[in-house]
Amino acid sequence: MKKNEIEIAKKTLKLLKVKVWQNIKLQEIVLSKNKNSFKSKNDLIKNINRYVDYLLKKESNSIEKSSHKDMLFEVIMLRFDVLQQYRKSFIMLFDSFKNKPQKTLIFIPSFLESMILIANLANIKMKGIRGNLIIKGIFVIYVATYFKWMNDSSASLEKTMTALDEYLNQASKILYFKK
């Protein structure tokens, strides 16, 4: 990720702490030299997602090799640890879209790229139809866990971890995560 993209992601997240998404203007964040890369506010959200992925990759060295389910748990929780650093910003962003979920459809490809990254970091092979199902399954698990995370005010994210573990247990019965 380029230095200016990191700066723009941080600036966007900082602004989201104090302003609702609808009141943020692209010009508040993007300088004229970056206008070619960021043509709309949607580009800012995609950039935030890439920034979270960038931070996740940096932090993923600490993940121990174990079963796919355990590694997937660790990677997803690591992603929530990254989100936790900007908790208020992500909750504000979610609140801006929750009454208009159709506006989030444009971001699904970006989030699916993140799910592929999560699967790769968990050493899960994604070939063929099964791989496609795994990515979509991880996406559903992630979104469901995100809803739990938003309501989990504990520092340890106990409710988030419990929910994620339950979702992964259910999914492993269907997808047969192998070692």
75: confidence class by pLDDT, cuts 50, 70, 90: very high
CB within 8 Å of 86: residues ≥ 6 apart: 13, 16
State pLDDT tens for residues 86-127: 999 999 999 998 888 888 888 999 999 999 999 999 999 888
pLDDT at 33: 64
State pLDDT tens for residues 43-54: 999 999 999 999
What is the pTM (predicted TM-score) of this model?
A: 0.91
State pLDDT tens for residues 21-48: 999 999 889 876 666 789 999 999 999 9
pLDDT at 179: 45
pLDDT at 65: 87
CB within 8 Å of 67: residues ≥ 6 apart: 177, 179
For the beta carbon of residue 133, count every other beta carbon within 10 angstroms. 14
Q: Which residue has the higher pLDDT, 67 or 76?
A: 76
Token couple for 167:
């979702």
